[in-house]
Every structure is written in C-alpha cells, then in structure tokens.
C-alpha cells in the first residue's frame, strides 16, 4: 500500500507507484518561502507575454501542443508509473488537452479581441466604447492527483492563452508528471511564464498569497479553505470541486447502452473522476434488466495498472479506506454487493469493482463522494422520484439521463440542478470544449474551461471610453451653464423614458 508522501520543504521525496510500490521518481519540494520569488519572476515575464498579443501566444501554444503530441508515449508511461492507472485510462489525458489547445489556438484571437459596445441611448453615441480583456498577471493553479495532465493543463492552457503567467501547484501525490509537462514547455521554446511550486498545503497557501487569480480543482472541503485564504487579499477564485453525479435510466431507455455507459462511467480511472457516475436511479420496469447487464459487464473487467487492463489502482490507501467505508456502511444498512465488496489482497491499493443494490439515501455510498470503483443502483417508481433523489445532494457537477426519446430526456435534464447533463452518454460534456464546464452548489464556482468564457475568466475587463469627435464633450463640467445642464438632463430623461413608456402600456 502507498500513502501520501511526507512533504518537507527543502527536502526531496521518492514517489512510488500505487499499483506496485516501485519507485516512480524523485521530487524536490519547493520551500514555501521561495514562492514569492518564483511568482515575481513570472510577473516580470508576463508583461512581454501579454504584449505578444493573442496571435503571438497562439503560435507558442501550438508549438507546445506539437511537443505534447510527440511525447505522448513518454507522458503516458510516467502517468502509469506515478498513478497506477491502466494504459487505456492514461491514454485519455493528452488527447483531451490537445483538443482544448487546438480549439483555443484557433479561436483565442477572436475571443480576446476588444468588444465595441453601442451607447445605451443614441445621442450618447458621441462616445466610442471599447471593452478590453486584459490578463490577470499571475494565475495560481492548484491541482488534484486524479488526472495529472488534464487537470493541470485544462486550466493552464486557457490562462496562458489569455496572456497570464501560470504558477502551477500539482498534487503532492503526482508531482512528477508536472515536471515533465514543464520540461516540454521549456523544450518547445516557450518563454518563462510557466513555473511549478511543488508541495502540499503550505506551498498551496503561498501560491494563493502570491497570485492574482486562483483556479483550484480538488475536494469541496479544500475549496472552501482556498476561498477563505484568497479572500484575505480579495483574490478572485474559480473552484472545480467534488461531485456525486447521478444517472437516470428511464423506462424507454436503451438498457444495454445505459449499462455499458454506467459501468464505464463508474469504473473509468478506478472511479477517481470528478464527473464519474456515482449513483444510478432506474425506473422499476427496466431495473432487473439493467442490473443484470451491469453485473455481466463488471464481471468482465480487468483490474490492474498498465497495458491489458480496464482500470487501475486507487491513488493510495486513504482512497481505498473511503471506498471500503462506503461499501461496509451500505451493507450494514441492508444493501447487497452483487460484485466485489472488498479491497484486493496483495500489493497495491486496489479495490474490487463493486455493484451495490438495495441502496437508499441513508447510506454514504448515495450521498458522499466515494471516488472509488463502486456503482450503487436504486430502483425508483417514477421520473419525479428519480429527479427528486438526483437533486437531493449538496453537489451539482453533472448528470446523465437515458431515454430513447431524446426530447423527453432533455426535459428531464433541465430539471436537474447541476452544471452539465449528458443525454444517452456519460462524461462527454467534458469533451465539448466550445461550451463552459463547471459545477453548481458545492461542486464549484465559475466555469472551468470551454468557449470564450474559458479565456475571459482569466482577464480583467478594462472599458475605454473615447470621443468619436471632440464635439460635445464635458457636458457635466462646472464651467457649463446650469441652464445647459438642466436642458441636457431634461432631454436625457425624455429620451430614456421613450421605450419604458411604450412597454409599460
């Protein structure tokens, strides 16, 4: 079994593969006191980065994307060593980042271009109003361990594209992949606007204290602490937090498709995915058929790290213990495990894929984030009951609805309190890089990436108001006669009331 590495500033640690206990590599932790100096270096380099403009930065990001593509095998190899993932799970990360980068290098110039805004009243159009998107100089990105490439770069690419410098604090459990990603940035000839701070809580806090914006991904409990710390300097935050994503299977669903999706959605990356399927509500008429199909699929899964396996190890013994606690609690309260139900004996932090039935909301497996390979399935009598139970959660990240009637599924989707819903699929909203992705309730604040919003969030808005001609400027100044001022205010009142008067009739 592996445990979280001891993090001691000025020291280095050995990172071990959670699947085998073998050494994955060494990391040198950052002294929290050094973070101010690192941030100052980034701040100095950022001025030139902003001045290159979107077009200039897009070229650099494009070169980085090419480096990532060419080094995919090396990155995935390290990912497997550092996290104990299966090869198929490790293979998901770089392509997602390439897709995001490709989208942003194509669209960033337009997304960041100044907007011209019309005047509210025609007679004010003597002014030319332009809204500019100016980058926040240093963006601190605090990342979790479950997707060391995706969770770091999904945010870093957007911030860099926006013209910010990025100070990345990877999880102390997965620092090695981040070192390789930084090497790639340097090897692709990019300027020094990306740096790492390696460590745990203390280093994170120093990153928060030295950044102009914080993008945090991690648990909801830590997210609250991050926001509290950032509030000391009124630093804005964007939080991507935990989830307890529900899936609803309606009686007219393609049950086979729903079962395949549920099993992959729950077991992918050993269940350690923020948007994994954490609980399923199935209409009673298709419940037995769905459960049989799920159990059949789960029995065919191969657990183990690297090639030839479907999903790999949990990150450490702590994560195995959470999964164990949720399953034991459910069974003690009357649930049945149709598969698995226990940790795997032998080396590595593995937990058997576990399908739970006869579950309800008195059980932790239905209400708390498990982040392990479990699939609790609950029978429901009606769509209303499914919607009520799906919304009965402090979380609201995403959800899935299965029905052959897509319009009906879409109508159910809009009754769910969460940031994204997939119809007849799971997790696919993460691939939709043109739309914002973010959670509701305790699953997050702000959207994480996607669309022009994914770049503009890293910017401060600067509105510049300039005269179209120099005629008529200075209407309110003291040197103008009170009579002229009165006339102007009367005219403004009359003009501003034309539309409300018409509409109020």
Give the Å distances, CA to CA, from 256 to 399, 407, 422, 429.
18, 20, 17, 21
Q: How far apart are CA 317 and CA 349, in angstroms?
A: 6
Active-site annotation holds for 251: no
Residue nearest to ligand NAD (CB): 218
Minimal distance, residue 250 CB to ligand NAD, in Å: 26
Minimal distance, residue 373 CB to ligand NAD, in Å: 15
Cβ contacts of 157 within 8 Å, gap of 6 or more: 61, 97, 100, 101, 104, 449
Minimal distance, residue 469 CB to ligand NAD, in Å: 50
Element (H, E) at 135: strand 127-135
Residues that bind ligand NAD (CB under 6 A): 142-146, 151, 169, 171-172, 200-201, 204-205, 217-219, 222, 225-226, 240-243, 274, 369, 371, 397, 439, 444, 448
CA atoms 168, 174, 176, 181: torsion sign: negative
Q: Annotated catalytic residue: which of 76, 164, 274, 278?
A: 274
Q: Annotated catalytic residue: which of 240, 278, 352, 369?
A: 240
Active-site annotation holds for 432: no
Minimal distance, residue 331 CB to ligand NAD, in Å: 24
Give ∠ CA 357-303-292 in degrees, rounded to 5. Answer: 30
Cβ distance to ligand NAD smaller for residue 241 or 250: 241
Structure tokens at 242: 């935990």
Task: Sort 144 into a burial class: Cβ within 10 Å, 0-12 / 13-18 / 19+.
Answer: buried
Minimal distance, residue 113 CB to ligand NAD, in Å: 28
Structure tokens at 376: 């609790």
Cβ distance to ligand NAD smaller for residue 243 or 372: 243
Cβ distance to ligand NAD smaller for residue 156 or 291: 156
User: Long-range pairs for 362-365 at CB < 8 Å and ≥24 separation?
Assistant: 362/333, 363/326, 363/329, 363/330, 363/333, 363/335, 364/325, 364/326, 364/329, 364/330, 365/279, 365/326, 365/327, 365/329, 365/330, 365/335
Give the catalytic positions in this structure.
240, 274
């Amino acid at each position: 079994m592996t445990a979280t590495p001891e993090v001691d500033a000025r020291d280095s640690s050995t990172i071990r593969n959670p699947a085998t206990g073998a050494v994955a590599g060494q990391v040198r932790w950052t002294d929290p006191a050094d973070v101010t100096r690192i941030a100052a270096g980034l701040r100095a380099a950022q001025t030139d980065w902003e001045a290159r403009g979107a077009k200039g930065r897009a070229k650099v990001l494009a070169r980085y994307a090419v480096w990532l593509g060419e080094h995919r095998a090396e990155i995935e190899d390290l990912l497997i060593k550092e996290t104990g993932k299966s090869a198929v799970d490790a293979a998901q990360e770089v392509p997602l980042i390439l897709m995001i980068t490709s989208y942003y290098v194509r669209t960033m110039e337009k997304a960041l271009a100044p907007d011209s805004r019309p005047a509210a009243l025609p007679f004010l159009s003597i002014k030319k109003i332009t809204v500019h998107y100016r980058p926040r100089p240093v963006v601190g990105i605090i990342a979790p361990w479950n997707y060391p490439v995706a969770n770091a770069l999904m945010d870093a690419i957007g911030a860099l594209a926006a013209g910010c410098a990025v100070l990345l604090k990877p999880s102390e459990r997965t620092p090695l992949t981040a070192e390789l990603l930084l090497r790639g940035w340097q090897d692709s000839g990019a300027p020094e606007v990306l740096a790492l701070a390696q460590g745990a809580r203390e280093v994170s806090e120093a990153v928060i204290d030295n950044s102009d914006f914080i993008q945090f991904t991690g648990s909801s409990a830590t997210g609250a602490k991050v926001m509290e710390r950032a509030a000391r300097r009124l630093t804005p935050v964007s939080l991507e937090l935990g989830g307890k994503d529900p899936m609803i299977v309606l009686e007219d669903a393609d049950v086979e498709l729903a079962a395949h999706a549920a099993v992959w959605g729950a077991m992918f990356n050993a269940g350690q995915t923020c948007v994994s399927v954490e609980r399923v509500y199935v209409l009673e008429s298709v419940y037995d058929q769905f459960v049989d199909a799920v159990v059949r699929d789960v029995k065919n899964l191969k657990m183990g790290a690297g090639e030839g396996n479907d999903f790999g190890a949990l990150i450490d013994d702590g994560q195995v213990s959470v999964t164990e606690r949720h399953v034991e609690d459910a069974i003690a309260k009357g649930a049945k495990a149709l598969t698995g139900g226990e940790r795997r004996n032998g080396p590595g932090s593995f937990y058997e894929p576990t399908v739970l039935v006869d579950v309800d909301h008195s059980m932790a497996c239905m209400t708390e984030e498990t982040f392990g390979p479990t699939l609790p399935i609950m029978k429901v009598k009606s769509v209303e009951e499914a919607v009520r139970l799906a919304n009965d959660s402090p979380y609201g990240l995403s959800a899935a609805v299965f029905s052959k009637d897509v319009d009906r599924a879409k109508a159910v989707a809009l009754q769910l309190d969460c940031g994204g819903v997939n119809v007849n699929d799971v997790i696919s909203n993460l691939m939709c890089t043109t739309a914002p992705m973010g959670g509701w309730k305790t699953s997050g604040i702000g959207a994480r990436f996607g669309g022009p919003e994914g770049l503009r969030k890293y910017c401060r808005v600067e509105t510049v108001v300039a005269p179209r001609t120099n005629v008529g400027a200075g209407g309110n100044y003291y040197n103008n006669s009170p009579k002229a001022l009165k006339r102007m205010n009367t005219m403004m009142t009359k003009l501003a009331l034309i539309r409300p008067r018409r509409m109020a009739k």
